[in-house]
Amino acid sequence: MISTDPYIDQLTNEDIDEILTKMPWTPGPNDACENCGSKETLDWYVSHTCYAWDGAGEDPNRDQLYCDGCGHQHEEFWSDQWAEYYRGCL
């Protein structure tokens, strides 16, 4: 497909790669819930962790890909964990 937009026509492959890496990622047909393996209703859920990370290896604070059921359990678990933490701090 050829664009009629002069700006788009001037983009290089590197420009396009950079734009695509900044776009929100949508789960594909081969992706599955990181907890139960379901391929239905996948979405990204915020990690809710604050582990120290030196940049080596996998980020322990990265967002998690879950189905709706596991995602809601994840949110509830971490809400409870942080509430318990803050109760001890106050």
**Residue 16 is assigned to a structural domain of this protein:** yes
**Residue 18 is assigned to a structural domain of this protein:** yes
Confidence of residue 25 (pLDDT cuts 50, 70, 90): confident
**Residue 1 is assigned to a structural domain of this protein:** no
More confident residue, 82 or 19: 82
Rounded average pLDDT over 33-61: 91
Q: What is the C-alpha separation between 44 and 66, in angstroms, rounded?
A: 6
**Residue 56 is assigned to a structural domain of this protein:** no
Q: What is the C-alpha separation between 72 and 79, in angstroms, rounded?
A: 10
Q: Which residues contact 65 (CB under 8 A, 6 or more apart)?
A: 27, 31, 32, 33, 34, 42, 43, 44, 45
Q: 78: how many CB neighbours lie within 10 A of its CB?
A: 15
Q: Residue 83: give the domain boundaries.
A: 6-50+61-89
**Residue 69 is assigned to a structural domain of this protein:** yes
Name the domain count of the chain: 1
User: What pLDDT shows up at residue 11?
Assistant: 77
**Residue 55 is assigned to a structural domain of this protein:** no
